[in-house]
Structures are given as C-alpha cells and as structure tokens.
Amino acid sequence: GNESLEIVVVDAIYSQPADVEAMFNKLRYAPLSTYFAEFADAPQALDRIAGAILDEAAEKAATLPKTKTLAIFGHAIYSNACARLLATSLGAPEDQIRALEAVNLGEAEGFRVAGEA
C-alpha cells in the first residue's frame, strides 16, 4: 500500500456561484475559450472560483506531510479554470495559456501543471 496517500475534501470545489452556474447552464462542458467569447465576465468569475479552490487546497496541503504532488479532482470547468490560473501564476507562456483555454476535458481527464512558485 501507499502510506503517504492522503485524501482531503476541498469544499470550494462544490460551490457554484450564481454567475458561474448561469454560464454553465448555457454552455455546459465547453473550453474556457468558449466561455470567454460568450461572457465578458467569465475570466474574472472563473478566476475567482479557481482562486478560492486553489487557496483552500493550499491551506489543506500545508497540513499534510511534505509532498511533491498535489492532485485536485472536481468539476471540469473548475479544473480548467484552476489549471489556467495556476499556469498563469507560474508564468507560463501566453501560447500555452491559450492552448489550455482551448481544451474541452473528457471523462476522467485533467491537466498536469508543473513549475516552481
């Protein structure tokens, strides 16, 4: 077994602010670029929820034994938004950010964002 595996719940993943819920109800599962083209406030709204998720994940990760890998699972749009915000924060090149925004995640898919903070 893997004694170093720890599972914690990040409650922010389960929040659905009204503005994001309205966007999702219209577009459903779509790339972030589609959300950004359709709704002028999508970047800010999705950055806000991604920031809340990543902040809570970081707080909870700080209580765990030191690790080099942190996996976050959740809503596909939130996963995309978290990956985008994290990649942007780590200084990823603009072409990589745009490529990330064009991805429409399928079932059990995700992103690997690596870098030094």
What is the DSSP track for 64-100?
SPP-S-------HHHHHHHHHHHHHHTT--HHHHHHH
Rounded to an integer, the average pLDDT of 59-75 is 77
pLDDT digits (tens, 9 = 90+) for 17-30: 899 999 999 999 99
Q: Can you give the pLDDT at residue 104?
A: 92
Phi, psi of 35 (to 5 degrees): -60, -45
Mean pLDDT across the stretch 87-114?
88
- Distance in angstroms (rounded) separating the CA atoms of residues 84 and 69: 18
pLDDT of residue 9: 82
pLDDT range class, residue 1, cuts 50, 70, 90: low
pLDDT surpassing 70 at residue 47:
yes
Q: How confident is the model at residue 3 (pLDDT cuts 50, 70, 90)?
A: low
Alpha-carbon distance values, 20 to 4, 25, 50, 58, 60 (Å): 35, 9, 11, 23, 24
The total of other beta-carbon atoms located within 10 Å of residue 81's CB is 26
